Amino acid sequence: MAFVLVLIAMGALVSRMYVLQVVDNDRYSAISDKNRIQLKPEKPTRGLIFDRSGVLIADNKPSYSVTVLKEEMAGELQQIVAQVGDIIDLSARDLERFNKRLERRRRPYESVMLRSRLTPQEIAKLSVNYHRLPGIRVEADLIRFYPYGETLVHAMGYVGRINERELKRVDEKNYSATNYIGKLGIEKFYESELHGTVGMRKVETNARGRVMRVLENIEPVPGKDLQLTIDLPLQQITEKLLQNEKASVVAIDPRTGGILALVSTPGYDPNLFVTGISNKAYNALRESPDLPLFNRAIRGGYPPGSTIKPITALAAIDSGAVPVDYTVYDPGWYTIADDRYQRKYRDWKRSGHGNVNLNLALAQSCDVWFYDAGHKTGVDNISHYMDMFGLGKVTSLDLPEAIAAVLPTKSWKKRRYKQSWYPGDSLNLSIGQGYLVTTPLQLATTAMLLANRGVWRQPKLLMGFREVGSKGEVLLTQPDTQGSNPKPDNIQLKDPALWDAVIAGMTEVMHGKRGTARKVGGDAPYLIAGKTGTAQVVGIKQGERYDASKLLKKHRDHALFIAFAPVDDPKIAIAVVVENGGKLGGGGSSTAAPLARKILDAYLLGVDPQQQWGGEIL
As annotated, the active-site residues are 306
Minimum CB separation of residue 101 from another protein in Å reads: 22
Closest CB to another protein among 74 and 212? 212
Closest CB to another protein among 5 and 552? 5
Closest CB to another protein among 75 and 120? 75
The window from 186-194, 198-206, 215-223, 419-427 that contacts another protein (CB under 8 A) reads: 198-206
Minimum CB separation of residue 38 from another protein in Å reads: 11
Count other C-beta atoms under 10 Å from residue 270's C-beta.
28
Closest CB to another protein among 212 and 284? 212
211 binds another protein (CB under 8 A): no
Angle of helix 423-430 relative to helix 367-388, nearest 10 degrees, comes to: 90
> What is the footprint of another protein within residues 354-373 (CB under 8 A)?
none
Closest CB to another protein among 18 and 130? 18
How many angstroms separate the CA atoms of 248 and 344, rounded? Answer: 34
Closest CB to another protein among 1 and 552? 1
How many angstroms separate the CA atoms of 576 and 349, rounded? Answer: 23
Minimum CB separation of residue 12 from another protein in Å reads: 8
How many angstroms separate the CA atoms of 609 and 606, rounded? Answer: 9
Beta-bridge partners for 62: 142
Minimum CB separation of residue 73 from another protein in Å reads: 20
Minimum CB separation of residue 211 from another protein in Å reads: 11
Closest-CA residue to 314 (of 502, 494, 508)? 502
User: What Å distances lie between residue 469 and 462, 474, 475, 476, CA to CA?
Assistant: 19, 6, 6, 10
Minimum CB separation of residue 1 from another protein in Å reads: 10
Minimum CB separation of residue 25 from another protein in Å reads: 5
Minimum CB separation of residue 134 from another protein in Å reads: 21
Angle of helix 309-318 relative to helix 423-430, nearest 10 degrees, comes to: 120
Minimum CB separation of residue 22 from another protein in Å reads: 6
> What is the footprint of another protein within residues 34-73 (CB under 8 A)?
35-36
> What is the footprint of another protein within residues 2-41 (CB under 8 A)?
2-3, 6-7, 9-10, 12-14, 16-18, 20-22, 24-25, 27-29, 31-33, 35-36
List the one residue from 100, 103, 105, 207 that touches another protein (CB under 8 A).
Answer: 207
Closest CB to another protein among 19 and 474? 19
List the one residue from 74, 124, 212, 605 that touches another protein (CB under 8 A).
Answer: 212
Question: Is the peptide bond prior to 566 cis by the omega test (within 30 degrees of 0)?
Answer: yes
How many angstroms separate the CA atoms of 612 and 606, rounded? Answer: 11
Closest CB to another protein among 24 and 569? 24
What are the percentages of helix, strand and coil residues in the chain, rounded to 5?
Answer: 40, 20, 40
Contact 465, 477 (CB under 8 A): yes
Closest CB to another protein among 14 and 474? 14
List the one residue from 67, 111, 151, 205 that touches another protein (CB under 8 A).
Answer: 205
Contact 162, 177 (CB under 8 A): no
Strands of 259-265's sheet, edge to edge?
Answer: 259-265, 247-252, 572-578, 558-565, 529-535
Closest CB to another protein among 14 and 221? 14
List the one residue from 100, 104, 208, 415 that touches another protein (CB under 8 A).
Answer: 208
Minimum CB separation of residue 109 from another protein in Å reads: 13
Contact 358, 415 (CB under 8 A): no
How many angstroms separate the CA atoms of 308 and 296, rounded? Answer: 18
Question: Is the peptide bond prior to 594 cis by the omega test (within 30 degrees of 0)?
Answer: no
List the one residue from 118, 176, 206, 352 that touches another protein (CB under 8 A).
Answer: 206
> What is the footprint of another protein within residues 80-109 (CB under 8 A)?
none
> What is the footprint of another protein within residues 118-147 (CB under 8 A)?
none
- Transcribe 88-133 into DSSP letters: S---HHHHHHHHHHHHS---TT--EEEE----HHHHHHHHHTGGG-
User: What Å distances lie between residue 271 and 146, 160, 274, CA to CA?
Assistant: 6, 9, 5
Handedness of CA 432, 433, 437, 441 (dihedral sign): positive
Q: What are phi and psi of 89, to 5 degrees?
A: -70, 125
The window from 205-213, 220-228, 334-342, 425-433 that contacts another protein (CB under 8 A) reads: 205-213
Closest-CA residue to 526 (of 495, 565, 558, 554)? 565
# chain residues binding another protein, by CB under 8 A: 31
Binding site residues, another protein, CB under 8 A: 2-3, 6-7, 9-10, 12-14, 16-18, 20-22, 24-25, 27-29, 31-33, 35-36, 204-208, 212
